[in-house]
Structure 1
């Protein structure tokens, strides 16, 4: 196959274009295929739109037009974006007449236009299945809205009854983005009767009307815990015809409340209650509204649908009930939850039985969310031939299973271990893509540079992400007054941002990285068990726990082990009980015999686990019997989970424990041989991993160099990132286990920012191959290893051939574009930021300016092949022009560039075009009362408290002028190419 042909991981078949997700295994070395014989050619993968970064695309008020859409989509395409995710949100003050109600006929017209324009421009399009988040809207009735469990408890003595009607009236509640919230007397019930204008103006987040809610269970319990169902003894007026037969009775009345959560940041036409995520009926009705809107539209050009996290309980109280809960619980757990309401609802009851009931309740809720919402939605998308992309974090369920149920798991945030929950599910279950909502609130508004974004993106790559979505781009007509329409919580990736001039460089960097990361499969060694049932069995402030990364696992061995492995060079994925059931043993793979649907692993690690289903423990020990090595940190599990059929299940579990006969080995590790394999038990994780011969990448120790290792047809890809402000130079050991010699022809380097590549310098250190790396601060490199000899040029390593020469003289500073006013040109005898000039217009200026200097070529030094141009301090990024030719764009954090010596003439002209932040111009607007915060709903809050004004909104009035421009020093250093 020619090296330039990409192999897509999505194969299309049939007239409907239905997507079949297939892991292509050995063929996933797209663009880096074998040459003839035993040699492989050195080449970059071809870049597709899927490799490029995509962006969340907010349609504020859905106030879009065909011309406006075309205008901005061309800009996005030219900037290097590969796709867009349409998410309608709240509108813009003064633009109400342009608003288009969500899913209306006109809305579908502009959406269909977007799809057709996307096809023309080769921009992929996804669509959020809601406006704002979570799923909800005006078509969601009370019956389909999220529910809460409310209860009353009565203590009775012998002969006593309950004289008052057994009813529950919800207290009125209104929460919204505005303080104070609108009076509930002004809000009509049902919500949809209030009209779009009012709902946009009110920005409601949660509404509970003061109404009586239905009684769904009435149970009496004697002192021994024996239960009596009293529901049939309640008349229509709510009176109970029953008296306690003896002292000490407790009666629990369970009511089905309306949780009242509404769609956050809803677009016009999308305001309303959030759905009941545990009800298949509610989901069917909800998606049916989309089916009706889509009727007559082919959706050709739409790749998939998106859900922006769970977030139902970002409100007062919890959505912790559904009409089918009791029947579902009995079916799934095998006993009647109504028999154990005191154990579930009494917060002071911490008996083993009460904790097991609580665990079963949480497990049931999680399974309903998985089956009734996540899988139901996935099936709906699949029937349309579309992908489903989901943010599962924050859900009251095992998020590994939720992530695994969809086509593309998506994460967010700034924590590498948080990312690994999404990427682990993809890795274990064979999902080709893990996406990320990227660069959300890196700093407060207008303060984040492209360098900040790059550092954040690199961390996503290290966490297993390979499909970046910026957060994000707001649709803004080109004619809108600067800074245009903005979103409230984002790094502003807008064409009005001066950094847009150099945005393409970042996008090309990401595309080249992802061309490797998407054309390979994970090569992690350890499956770390996710101890969800330990969490399920712990009392908390509320009935449900919500899972998001390591939140809730503070102080556990699970978290401590994950953190230690992540900073000590070990590669691992998290795994759930449901995923353990899918594991098999592959005896043909002696190095990594544990096989999941997505790959192979060396071992499975239990980190101080207490509760585990006997089925999972059985499967784990079966893997050991087949020949696997299982690692147990600190102690063996102590019990099974839950209350269902406890005695029988505990008996099975005890027999499994009894089958382990541990004997002491070296290093304090205990070993239980089991069949062809073994279980190792110890309290020192390093010793456990060493005895199990788990690979350790030395470069990952202490976190100086971050890495992720992936496998392709002939070897491995390493994405390596220097996570420091200092340069790195030296040999790095690789645990890639190549079968061939240590010849440099089997190792190649690809610099995705410098776009240079070549064969690496390699030596053997302690029986391992070591590759020589030269990395600038925060620089990344792709190392390609190959079992076949690679053919190509040597990588251009360099070393200084002489001292640096400062480029001095009269620098001419010219302001090219920006505002509010273009400052006058100035000549500087000493290079400096333009904000250090005396021109007031320069202090207020956000845009692009050019620093120019004529200089002579440094004195000739023998053997010099390149010169290193170092710009020094740049605020914030720059494009470099030498003798009228653009030679590079530098976005930082490092601002150095190696120039071919042949490009230098005896006399040279250097032009450095610097683009700064939006901050100084926004500061000017705030000082002069110029309005840019003109949005409905949340209307531009501050991320940091110190940037919050008297009106509660974001302000820059407390800021100093942000340094902008080029302060240098600019130097040239002669370089020689090293062998």
Structure 2
């Protein structure tokens, strides 16, 4: 069932019924069914949208064959030499190709998403200055009694010009931006013209507390017609500036101003362009529209204003900000400065949610589509932005950043939570499939269940090697030398997501995100951005919880209002939790504390780290709110109890203590022991019972009993890499705790699934090995079956070496070689044999007697061969693919002909890999180790007796 809000009650019902009427036997475990959404998707870059129907179809068939389930189309900058083939973004011709793609997607069962902008953030040629992003500027003046202001009320915007890889002068650029005919060549990043800014307001404040609005007394020339009355007066003039941010990496027709994300008019004007061009096209089959993060403020200054801000502020915060401009700009008392700044930032947050995100989501619904949204980096309560998204999407490697998206998805019951995977995983041509798997596993272990690769460029099939490439991603494309091995990794992702998508989250606690503390701390800039790095607000606490093995989701103030109680549990739309943990914080809204108290009265336990919050944030009705807050706190009577302060609140509790573990133990919340072993994991609730996704990215094998915080009648192991299934060895400790015997090699993943019944299934093999290792030291036939610049001749050898050590030809070769040898079955009787390949560069497909066993990526290049698969005489084939770096080194030495793009034109990730022209180069690299180096060995394994 697709939607978790329907699925979760069914899960709970089945669990309840099974506990009451548990059958003695049930069906044997099997792999869940798959859809195109359980397969990984990839971002599909359309360079210059220089696409045609034939190559679109050919590209899509290659991606479908490689195991991808869907594509997200993101048009970006063009390719030099293909200008005559570029299609202007969302033109009629572009829409024809988009329509063709959607129809081919239906034929191939490939889902399709579309980025609403060509590049990012949202914007384009059709966005004029009135809808472009804005910033606020101010000037302060002083006038004494009986005097007039002689200085003009004026603010001249300083010019800014930032480009990507081009050298221009501001006079080379016309206003408006859309009037420039060569925007691809210009590659503009930010443009501000020197001009006077529109006055928003002029307010006068006397030392006696009087406030006067002088805006209408300023003439068109900036002269103020006003004589100061009694007192000394400070005047604050607020101006609206043009931020100047341009759409990054835009293709033809998509270049131009970034929109004002705080303006409903700007959002609707931006989206209307798609409506105007979609007419007459069959665009059914589009799943979602995509937004590639906020990223407006990665330029000079911030976009922190909108033309209607004063009116919006008064409506949302309940008072006129114009009367408190000194506090807004940090010139009032410390407390007032803090409170007004908090209200300003909360208003920005509300506008980003209601004037952009919700407007965009409602618009998408009119096209029968969802929105897939990257909210991180926004100056807003990003948990609320993610909740407003049909598919929340994260990126990066910080677990807390990942959890911002997954938490919002869990709390609100989103069936899919996506990620932009493997961005800048390494510098060009160095990323391995092992690093890819590690990157994917980090996402899956932190709640993501819909991986989107970053990414795959559209490339004409006949374009010379290496085809078209993107500047900031792993090259998940057919010209990569390890492309033949990618399908098995895609199948691994599919197998893993088939469990994690058809599930509800099973985390124990909600961790309050105290955003009002961040909003109340002025800092160096007007805005605070969230979700880009580990959040300082909860950094120490959240990292401690994660490292100890506690399972949690973040929750916002807005989300707290949606919670309900059920006995002593806390129910969100998409999940059920045991408690809420409030980190040490200064501020919390009155409504949030009222809701927490109501939950406690219904039976919930609310845990506060060290102490209760001290105050309510903001300015409006402050004394009344503070009085109500103090009365609420006074109604809660705490008693000392074992180094805690405990208050009975109705049927539940408020608990204050600095020892979080002790408080959680009181609520029967225990950490998962596997975290102390360095394992990554995710725990979910499926129709059959609790399931765990477990991966080992330590440098040591795990071979022991592990305590887990769940139970059932029996459990099975599923290996998502080779689809092996077997019954798990378990010891039930209680209805909620068990021990399971876990054997896990470095880099390996297993999925544990509980069932409410017993079943017939062979045990998942658990082995112990002896020291009788047999080295396969015979003759190898090495033939090259894929790659270039040409295929080297076949040769035989008894000494395995890295390719660059063998010949000059192999120094520059990138591709796949098949190593074949014959060997006899070892004489020692064994349950199985561990085949260890020794050193491998970089991936290896193992084929025994014509049967493909598994593809290995490292860090451990070994697998277990069941004894029955070995014959008296055996043929072993190992197909090894290296990195494409060696071939690219030679290309760069010859001039780097592949760097033919507008805009970034192939930037380097690491400074040392920049050439004299500022572009990436591998010309100084030495050839990388490649191929099968070994030694290759077979070690007998015996079935381990587990006590």
**TM-score of the superposition, structure 2-length normalised?**
0.97
**Per-residue deviation, 1:764:** 4.1
Number of the residue aligned with 1:831: 800
Identify which of 105, 116, 121 aligns with 2:103: 116
3-state SS, counterpart of residue 567 of structure 1 = helix
Gap change, CA 1:28 and 1:697, over 3 Å in 2: same
Measure the CA separation in 1 of the matches of 2:357 and 2:875: 60
Number of the residue aligned with 2:823: 855
**Per-residue deviation, 1:355:** 0.5
Measure the CA separation in 2 of the matches of 1:567 and 1:387: 35
Number of the residue aligned with 2:861: 895
Identify which of 745, 749, 764 aligns with 2:717: 749
Matched, 1:267 2:243: no
- Contact (CA 8 Å) 2:41, 2:70: kept in 1 or not? yes
- CA offset digits 1:223-243 (Å, max 9, x no partner): 244311001111232211012
- CA offset digits 1:196-243 (Å, max 9, x no partner): xx1101100111122222111010111244311001111232211012
Gap change, CA 1:22 and 1:763, over 3 Å in 2: closer
Number of the residue aligned with 1:844: 812
- Contact (CA 8 Å) 1:29, 1:712: kept in 2 or not? no
Measure the CA separation in 1 of the matches of 2:786 and 2:846: 17
**Per-residue deviation, 1:37:** 5.1
Kindly tell me the number of residue pairs found equivalent between the two proteins: 939
**Per-residue deviation, 1:173:** 1.4
Measure the CA separation in 2 of the matches of 1:25 and 1:875: 48
Matched, 1:723 2:710: no
Identify which of 888, 908, 913 aligns with 1:947: 913
Identify which of 159, 177, 181 aligns with 2:164: 177
- Contact (CA 8 Å) 2:202, 2:215: kept in 1 or not? yes
Number of the residue aligned with 1:732: 706
- Contact (CA 8 Å) 1:729, 1:773: kept in 2 or not? yes
Matched, 1:161 2:151: no
Matched, 1:866 2:832: yes
Number of the residue aligned with 1:659: 635
**Per-residue deviation, 1:857:** 1.9
- CA offset digits 1:689-735 (Å, max 9, x no partner): 2222213211122x511211111224201111112122111111111
Number of the residue aligned with 2:572: 596
Gap change, CA 1:685 and 1:287, over 3 Å in 2: same
Instruction: Map residues 801-840 of structure 1 onto 2, 5 A cutoff.
Output: 803-837=772-806, 839-840=807-808
Instruction: Map residues 866-885 of structure 1 onto 2, 5 A cutoff.
Output: 866-885=832-851
Matched, 1:385 2:381: no
- Contact (CA 8 Å) 1:23, 1:430: kept in 2 or not? no
- Contact (CA 8 Å) 1:720, 1:781: kept in 2 or not? yes
3-state SS, counterpart of residue 789 of structure 1 = coil
**Per-residue deviation, 1:446:** 0.7
Measure the CA separation in 1 of the matches of 2:937 and 2:497: 33
Number of the residue aligned with 1:302: 286
3-state SS, counterpart of residue 847 of structure 1 = strand
Measure the CA separation in 1 of the matches of 2:543 and 2:309: 37
Number of the residue aligned with 2:742: 773
Can you give the 5+ residue segments of structure 2 that lack an aligned partner in the other structure? none
**Per-residue deviation, 1:179:** 5.1
Measure the CA separation in 2 of the matches of 1:793 and 1:908: 26
- Contact (CA 8 Å) 1:416, 1:462: kept in 2 or not? no
- Contact (CA 8 Å) 2:140, 2:234: kept in 1 or not? yes
Identify which of 427, 444, 465 aligns with 2:427: 444
- Contact (CA 8 Å) 1:28, 1:712: kept in 2 or not? no
Identify which of 561, 570, 582 aligns with 1:581: 561
Measure the CA separation in 2 of the matches of 1:790 and 1:246: 90
Identify which of 579, 582, 592 aligns with 1:606: 582
Measure the CA separation in 2 of the matches of 1:408 and 1:28: 24
- CA offset digits 1:893-933 (Å, max 9, x no partner): 32212223233222222221111101111111111224111
3-state SS, counterpart of residue 834 of structure 2 = strand
- Contact (CA 8 Å) 2:50, 2:86: kept in 1 or not? yes
Measure the CA separation in 1 of the matches of 2:786 and 2:367: 46
Measure the CA separation in 2 of the matches of 1:790 and 1:513: 22
Matched, 1:343 2:351: no
Measure the CA separation in 1 of the matches of 2:30 and 2:532: 37
Measure the CA separation in 2 of the matches of 1:371 and 1:143: 19
Identify which of 550, 553, 558 aligns with 1:570: 550
Identify which of 651, 665, 675 aligns with 1:700: 675
Identify which of 621, 642, 646 aligns with 2:622: 646
3-state SS, counterpart of residue 379 of structure 2 = coil
Measure the CA separation in 2 of the matches of 1:528 and 1:75: 44
How large is the Cα RMSD of the aligned pairs? 1.9
- CA offset digits 1:338-368 (Å, max 9, x no partner): 001111113x656101100000000001000
Can you give the 5+ residue segments of structure 1 that lack an aligned partner in the other structure? 1-6, 11-20, 741-745
**Per-residue deviation, 1:29:** 12
Measure the CA separation in 2 of the matches of 1:759 and 1:833: 41
Gap change, CA 1:471 and 1:651, over 3 Å in 2: same
**Per-residue deviation, 1:171:** 1.9
3-state SS, counterpart of residue 40 of structure 1 = coil
Measure the CA separation in 1 of the matches of 2:875 and 2:651: 72
- Stretch moving more, 226-235 or 371-380: 226-235
Gap change, CA 1:527 and 1:71, over 3 Å in 2: same
**Per-residue deviation, 1:169:** 2.4
3-state SS, counterpart of residue 790 of structure 1 = coil
- CA offset digits 1:457-504 (Å, max 9, x no partner): 000011100000000000011111111100000011010001111000
- Contact (CA 8 Å) 1:583, 1:595: kept in 2 or not? yes
Measure the CA separation in 1 of the matches of 2:606 and 2:619: 27
**TM-score of the superposition, structure 1-length normalised?**
0.94
Gap change, CA 1:36 and 1:50, over 3 Å in 2: farther
